[in-house]
Amino acid sequence: MLRTSWLLAICSIVTISTVHANPSTLPSDPYVNSQHYHQQINTTAAWQEIRENTDITIAILDTGVDVDHPDLKANLVQGYNLVQPDKPPHDDHGHGTATAGILGAVGDNGIGVTGVLWNAKMMPIKILDNKGGGDAGRVAKGIRLAVDKGAKIILLSLGDPIYSTEMEKAIQYAEDKGVLLIAATGNDSSTVSYPAAFPTVLSVSAVDAYNIPLSYANRGPEVDVVAPGHHIYSTAKDGKYAYVSGTSMAAPQVAGMAALLLKKAPSLTPLEVRMIIRASTEGVDTKGWNPNTGYGLVNVQKALSLVDSDPIDLYEPNQTIEQVASLPFVGQTQALIGKTDPVDWYQIELPYQGKFQLQTRSLTGKENVLQIEIYNGEKKKVSSGLNRWEGTLKGGTYHFRVMDTGETPSFPYHIDTSFSVGADPYEDNDTKAKASKVPISQQQLIRGTFHKRADVDWFVADYLWPGKLEVEVKTDTIRMDSVLTIEQVGKTIEKVDHGSVSNGQSERWSKTVDPGKFYFALQEYYGNAVNGQYELQIRYETSDTSAFRDIQDHWARTSIEDLVSRKMIQGYPDYTFRPNHNITRAGAAAVLQNVLQLPTSRATSTYQDLKKDHWVYSAIASLGERGIFKGVASERIFPDQPLTRAELAVLLYQARYGTEQPEQIKSKQEFTDVLRGHWAYPYIMKMAELQHIQGFQDGSFQPERQTTRAEFAVLVRNMWYPAQ
């Protein structure tokens, strides 16, 4: 576990062409034409109605702010420094000053840039140090401080992939006090960071000047909206200006937008502000909600126009399953339903098996009953409930139908969705005594989950031979900080914890080991339950060429081990050779390609049952070029069919002595079931004369009998590598 910086902005100083707005809507600030995002989100049009809000305080939890910046100073109120409490919230990094300028650089003052708010009351609270570092405890403390000091909006252009109970409680404290939180999703090309991932936080991702999502912007079910985040011109520390990029620069635009809404309608609740902002978006890449851009690009002017409108339904029309509206599988929203529009259809995509919950409640204060029905991907009804549905579902697509059961006119209702990943197939393996047994193989892949707090997953394997053991852990979300413990019973215990955001929270361990019992334990560093999945990959390569568990007392052991050591033939990943299993025509071809050291063939097979992706395609083609291996029929070669003893005699003779049919057969031995007219007669008789093969005690050869892997190995060794 390597802690990473909380700071999320990707800052750069570059030059871009400016976008010129309508002069009649612009302030006198000289760099406003470089602020293309004002036109992109329709701030310039909104300014004709509202430009400021000094009735509320907006807290900026960041690296501090350049409190002496001439373009910010007039819009700042007393701030606080939680990094060094005895000092002012001075910005020694630059990130906080950039976010403050986007939100509330003084407008129409004849210098610099213009914030979304021309006049504002911004409260800087420094919770990040000069490297952008911080911790969840300080963020939580900053949120509570902002609430207690009277802030109505809190801007959090920061984040961490790891869940924190302390932070969640602080966020709920703000929501309970009627304070709106707005946060950036993060710039890790991964899952949404916290606090943006909490359902009551308005989560903001970013697009460029052409409304294309930033490639590095985090995405997922928590994304609410997007705003411009590429080459944003803003204030910089030491009284300067600079271009900055990242989701951190998109979030302040939405915070300013929220402040304009509260200026027009001060009584709006945080949920109502979130709904208006979502409802006023413009679709970016798809209609409706999606995990890349949420509900779409914010539109300040449109949002202001919705304040005085009737209740909003983001999802209409969705009266039929063909009109289904997408919902994130975690989050909060609201819609309308009633007598004239009694049915709403929604769709969710679950990434894993787990427990899903959808809960509805009327926002009228009355006991309106809504029926919920759930349908699977085949649109078959799975279950139903009243006002609430909860159950375990497999990963996949599901449809929910919400129906009004009464005669009430149209009314708003709240929708709350939540999901928690399910237990993996290896549970219950929470203790060493309950460790799940890992099959012995060259490579084993285990997919697991941390489905509950303090979950520890134990696995055990017995390695019978010395060799190289490699263990790797990967996660599909950087929210999961896995810790790997490896114990060889009676010898060593090692803990591996090198995961970080930069390496995708992966862990790696490799060592040459002696035979013994090994335990592998995986746990989440913070003990969190995480909606995600890990992959535990165990690779084991023995250095013992005789390490087949099923040939120790076998009559063909010497021949098998000799061919394996020469890399002519292989066993199976579970360290078995399966000597008494039949060898297929494909398997025989693969061995002979190795024995004859044939290069990869470029020939094209004409056999209908041998596709290019067949594992033995090259071997059969190489042998076929030399006339050694032919089909059973003209159009088919039946590669997966067992090799008969007759085919064995022909194949090995041709591979060892040439493809000409043997003519001078001196042997007087005859087999009762191989007559002179048999298609393989000359080959069988010549191989018997050379003492490579023999018949059975009853005088038969049994040409159609299938050949075992042991028999084939012995013959190949005797013909090509006879014992000295």
Residues tagged active-site: 62, 95, 248
What is residue 273's three-state secondary structure? Answer: helix
Residues in contact with 185: Cβ distance below 8 Å, sequence separation at least 6, in sequence order: 159, 192, 193, 196, 203, 204, 205, 206, 217, 218, 219, 220, 222, 223, 247
Three-state SS string across 366-426, please?
A: CCCCEEEEEECCCCCEEEEEECEEEEEECCEEEEEEEEECCCCCCEEEEEEEEEEECCCCC
CA angle 564, 565, 570 (to 5 degrees): 25
> Residue 659: which region, alpha, beta or left (left: phi > 0; alpha: psi -120 to 50)?
alpha
Q: Which residues contact 365 (CB under 8 A, 6 or more apart)?
A: none
Give the Cα separation of 157 and 252 in Å (integer).
8
| Contact status, residue 325 vs residue 386, Cβ threshold 8 Å | no
What pairs with residue 417 in β-bridges?
Answer: 331, 358
SS3 content of the chain, % helix, strand, coil (to 5): 20, 30, 50
Q: Show the tokens assigned to 291.
A: 């995990």
- Strand partners for 333: 415
Burial class of residue 311 in the structure, from the number of CB atoms within 10 Å of its CB (0-12 exposed, 13-18 middle, 19+ buried): middle
- Spell out the long-range contacts of 133-136 with Cβ–Cβ below 8 A and sequence spacing 24 or more: 133/3, 133/5, 133/6, 133/7, 134/6, 134/83, 134/158, 135/6, 136/160, 136/162, 136/164, 136/166, 136/167, 136/194
Phi first, then psi: give them for residue 78, nearest 5 degrees: -55, 135
Q: Are 448 and 534 in contact (CB under 8 A)?
A: yes
What stretches of 520-616 show up as alpha helix (H) in DSSP?
Answer: 557-565, 585-595
Tokens of 341: 């529009």
| Rounded Cα–Cα distance for residues 371 and 377 (Å) | 20
Q: How far apart are CA 216 and CA 233, in angstroms?
A: 19
Name the pairing type of β-strands 456-463 and 436-437: parallel
- Distance set, CA 631 to CA 271, 307, 538, 611, 620 (Å): 72, 78, 40, 14, 10
| Residue 588 neighbours by CB under 8 Å, 6+ apart | 643, 648, 651, 707, 712
**Dist CA 358 CA 414 (whole Å):** 10
Residue 516 near residue 488 (C-beta atoms within 8 A): yes
